[in-house]
Structure 1
Amino acid sequence: MTSPSPYKSTGGLQRIVRAFRYSMQGLGAAWRHEAAFRQEAVLAAILIPLGLWWGHTPLERLLLTGMIVGVLIIELLNSAIEALADAISTDHHPLLGRAKDIGSAAVLLMLLLTAATWACVLIPRWVST
């Protein structure tokens, strides 16, 4: 039988405080080291207020803003994959390259879904029938 990992926390309020601190460190690292995350975060700072303003119902506001937050989430995951791959090796390796490409594809799909969602919510208002 294996013993529990010494790196795994046991719980409680202290775990929540540490988890929040680690999350803030992760956001800071993404901001400092990932140009794509910075670009998307700046766009989010513009688009989230617009989504809250342009959404007529709570559901529309959730869709418009939630999709933008989704882009940031997928970008964070993609950046984590890329950082891990680079930590393993910066030499070309087909599996590491595949992992990076798949992460990039996830960001692309999320961006396309976000654009489609915004279009479905907003275009009917601006196009007269």
Structure 2
Amino acid sequence: MHNRRPDVVVYRADTIDIPPTRPEHVLLVAEVVSPGSETTDRIVKVEQYARAGIGFCRRVEQAATGVPLIYTYVLDPARGTYRPGRCSPGRSRLPHRFRWRSTWAGCEAARRGAGRAFHLISGD
């Protein structure tokens, strides 16, 4: 994972100022699938994040309808792989009941490093 830069990273609050970031500091990563890097974003990175022990992974893809599809993966620590995830269009729940909203424009901006892909709605 040392060579990977996820599009979105959610860190544990108590580790945000501890360099370098280690996999155990990360609660969730998300990748926005880009044209030309589909295999890397869908398979390679997801496998690497699982091997690093990151508990949750999200993959965001553009659907033909224009609404982003959000795939959620949860780590099976005994196997070191992610369990098959679910797919949610446009809106999804984060672990621990945090809700987020995404737009494709936001995902594209995050992929370019120019914005946020996801907006936290509530932490209920």
Bigger radius of gyration, 1 or 2?
1
Which structure has more relative contact order (CA 8 Å, sep 6+)? It is: 1
TM-score by length of 2: 0.25
TM-score by length of 1: 0.25
Relative to its length, the structure with more helix (as a share) is: 1
Relative to its length, the structure with more strand (as a share) is: 2
